[in-house]
């Protein structure tokens, strides 16, 4: 699964891992902002959670343990992080509401799909990236540091560092001038 090889999702070990993630996600999503256990539950769910990172519920994950979120990153409400393959979110990122990071892929061929075969490709979000509300990032995509992706964009291919990208499919609109 993590190596990008096809797998069957209802494998007993994967099912147990997904059930663990569902229990932790439910606890996190039901917690109040002032609940002292909230960050502990999130840290138990997420594979690697950076310091001073804030995730606003509700959150949805497949396993949670294959997600890395860098320090000082903000993830707004309604995030869907399907971590069948690793998801790496850098430091100082801004993730808008209802953003979807989707690593799973499914066969185009009907028989393989009917047989429940799946695969996945990792997603990497560089440092200081801003994903606007409703952005969808497809399997295998890397977004370079300092890049801004406009609300509602669907990112189907890698985006370089220091650009603004918009649309479906996302396309580079212009460069971002780094601070001097």
Q: Has residue 80 got a pLDDT over 70?
A: yes
Reply yes or no on domain 7-175 having CATH 2.160.10.10: yes
Alpha-carbon span 71 to 143, nearest angstrom: 17
**Domain positions in the chain:** 7-175
pTM: 0.95
Inter-residue contact 60 to 104 (CB < 8 Å) = no
pLDDT in tens, 46-74: 999 999 999 999 999 999 999 999 999 99
Q: Give yes or no for a contact between 128 and 140, defined as CB atoms under 8 angstroms apart.
A: no
Residues with a known catalytic role: 106
Per-residue pLDDT tens digits for 117-162: 999 999 999 999 999 999 999 999 999 999 999 999 999 999 999 9
Pairing of strands 79-82, 117-120: unpaired
């Amino acid at each position: 699964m993590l190596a990008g090889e096809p797998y069957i999702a209802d494998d007993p070990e994967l099912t147990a891992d997904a059930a663990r993630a569902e229990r932790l996600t439910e606890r996190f999503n039901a917690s109040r902002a002032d609940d002292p256990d909230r960050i502990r539950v999130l840290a138990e769910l997420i594979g690697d959670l950076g310091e001073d990172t804030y995730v606003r519920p509700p959150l949805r994950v497949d396993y949670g343990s294959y997600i890395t979120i860098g320090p000082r990153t903000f993830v707004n409400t309604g995030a869907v992080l399907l971590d069948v393959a690793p998801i790496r979110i850098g430091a100082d990122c801004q993730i808008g509401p209802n953003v979807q990071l989707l690593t799973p892929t499914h066969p185009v061929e009907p028989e393989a799909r009917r047989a429940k075969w799946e695969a996945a490709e990792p997603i990497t979000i560089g440092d200081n990236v801003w994903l606007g509300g409703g952005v969808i990032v497809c399997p295998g995509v890397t977004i370079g540091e300092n890049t801004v992706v406009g609300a509602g964009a669907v990112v189907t291919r890698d985006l370089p560092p220091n650009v603004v990208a918009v649309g479906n499919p996302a396309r580079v609109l212009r460069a971002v001038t780094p601070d001097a």
